[in-house]
């Protein structure tokens, strides 16, 4: 690192330390803020986001070649969270009265939702704006102070995120710092009350270890290999369209993407044909790949990683039956279908995070259940079937962060449902009131009968 680079890193670390001290002095003012104060902050946040819609779209195209439509959807998910918080915050903040036990007759018991204090938000690179801004909504609604660090791997998105936060908030309430791994480590060494991290399970372990040094609570939004099960009675054309779109959104760099498909042998050939048609319809024009529709891999290292998964699978006996062409210069990989993939192949061991779809065949769903049970609890599980008994068998015998039946990702799009993983795929829940509660401390208050007057 040259002297200029070292100076920049040093300045970022110094700024982060200053911000932490500033918010440490003001966190009780934030904690005691009224619903009206928090709603005013959220309203200003809303204005700052919408005022920079064009800059957000340009940044996402620069970093990930995301279309304007998908970029706007990321913005509007945050706006929806803000609108819901503004509409419901008075109710969320109201103490919950609890009926005392019989032997405490006449006493008063309640639960108050209080701010956790100082919250660190560490954002990911795959959805680099929305997944920083949405946790901020929950934290401000809860009365917390926030320091956010966008991900340096998406530099254009990091810059526009910083612009939005600085335009919307006083640094005492919410601030942003930009930098790389050194800055993240510096922040993790500070005694935050809560850490909200979105990223890989491997880094999530490091974040949790750092939080343990200060006994900070954590929200870890991680990932894993989300399986899709297609039963013999499924609407194959509908299932294929949804799976293809979900697998290749953001070039497959989506923690909720259908990671691999298990399909009943009796309809496996038909499903593969439908998947091919869906990929052609969604991502090709006149037989040629529409690169803008797919997007690009975030960097050369990740491009090589995903290509390596395909090569490893083929070397082990898998077949590429669709796609597979790659453009290293543009960091673009065609939507790719793999068949006959050995379970030992890397593509079946690691989260793919690319537009590659292994299709596996089963005869009895018990085989799939055994596989899912043995490979960690995924962030999502998708089941395509009209048979309620079949669906219930899968749900009863598996565990995952969330589930969508006859669709993909929709459970995460419903802001009134809690979103998050379980064990390997994450800790904690957010979206809507669940984010408010996640970033609040549920404080028990007991008032004896003798004090009621």
Q: Are 9 and 182 in contact (CB under 8 A)?
A: yes
Q: At what angle do helices 53-64 and 35-51 cross, to 10 degrees?
A: 60
**Residue tagged active-site, from 74, 221, 274, 438:** 221
Q: Which among 186, 194, 192 is positioned nearest to 220, based on CA atoms?
A: 194
57 labelled catalytic:
no
End-to-end Cα, the chain, rounded Å:
67
**Residue tagged active-site, from 178, 255, 334, 438:** 255
248 labelled catalytic:
no
Q: Are 287 and 56 in contact (CB under 8 A)?
A: no
Q: Which residues pair with 289 in a beta bridge?
A: 284
SS (H, E, C) 383-427: EECCCHHHHHHHHHCCCCCEEEECCCCHHHHCCCCCECCCECCEE
CB atoms under 10 Å from CB of 182, counted, come to 13
Tell me the three state secondary structure of residue 97.
strand
The first and second tokens of residue 303, run together, are: 């491009």
Backbone angles phi, psi at 445, to 5 degrees: -120, 125
What sign for the dihedral angle of Cα 92, 208, 205, 250? positive
| Burial state string for 332-351 with b = 16 or more CB within 10 A and e = fewer than 16 | bbbbbbbbebeeebebbeeb
Query: What are the C-alpha distances in Å from 23 to residues 45, 145, 186, 280?
Result: 18, 6, 16, 52
Q: Cα separation of 297 and 285, whole Å?
A: 20
State the catalytic residues.
221, 255
């Amino acid at each position: 690192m040259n002297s200029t680079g070292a100076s920049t890193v040093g300045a970022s670390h110094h700024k982060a330390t200053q911000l932490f001290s500033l918010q440490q002095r003001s966190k009780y003012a934030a904690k005691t803020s009224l619903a009206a104060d928090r709603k005013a902050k959220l309203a200003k946040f809303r204005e700052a986001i919408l005022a920079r819609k064009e800059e957000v779209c340009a940044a996402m195209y620069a970093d990930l070649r995301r279309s304007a439509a998908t970029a706007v959807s990321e913005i509007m998910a945050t706006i929806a969270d803000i609108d819901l918080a503004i509409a419901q915050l008075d109710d969320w903040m109201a103490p919950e009265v609890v009926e005392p036990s019989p032997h405490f007759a006449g006493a008063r018991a309640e639960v108050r939702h209080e701010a956790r204090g100082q919250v660190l938000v560490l954002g990911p690179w795959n959805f680099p704006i929305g997944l920083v801004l949405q946790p901020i909504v929950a934290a401000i609604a809860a009365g917390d102070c926030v320091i956010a660090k966008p991900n340096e791997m998406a530099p254009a998105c990091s810059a526009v995120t910083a612009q939005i936060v600085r335009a919307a908030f006083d640094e005492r309430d919410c601030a942003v710092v930009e930098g790389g791994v050194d800055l993240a480590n510096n922040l993790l060494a500070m005694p935050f009350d809560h850490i909200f991290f979105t990223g890989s399970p491997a880094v999530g372990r490091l974040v949790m270890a750092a939080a343990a040094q200060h006994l900070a609570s954590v929200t870890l939004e991680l990932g894993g290999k989300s399986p899709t099960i297609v039963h013999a009675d499924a609407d194959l054309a509908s299932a294929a369209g949804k799976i293809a779109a979900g697998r290749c959104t953001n070039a497959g760099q989506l923690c909720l993407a259908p990671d691999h498909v298990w399909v009943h042998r009796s309809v496996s050939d038909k499903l593969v044909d439908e998947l091919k048609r869906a990929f052609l319809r969604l991502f090709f024009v006149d037989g040629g790949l529409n690169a803008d529709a797919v997007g690009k891999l975030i960097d050369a290292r990740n491009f090589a990683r995903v290509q390596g998964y395909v090569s490893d699978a083929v070397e082990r006996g898998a077949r590429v039956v669709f796609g597979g062409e790659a453009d290293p210069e543009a960091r673009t990989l065609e939507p790719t279908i793999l068949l006959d993939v050995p379970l030992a192949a890397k593509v079946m061991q690691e989260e793919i995070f690319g537009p590659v779809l292994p299709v596996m065949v089963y005869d009895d769903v018990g085989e799939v259940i055994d596989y899912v049970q043995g490979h960690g609890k995924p962030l999502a599980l998708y089941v395509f079937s009209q048979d309620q008994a079949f669906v219930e068998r899968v749900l009863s015998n598996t565990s995952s962060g969330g589930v969508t039946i006859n669709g993909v990702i929709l459970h995460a799009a419903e802001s009134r449902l809690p979103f998050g993983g379980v064990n390997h795929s994450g800790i904690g829940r957010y979206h809507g009131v669940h984010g408010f509660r996640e970033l609040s401390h549920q404080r028990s208050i007991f008032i004896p009968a003798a004090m009621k007057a």
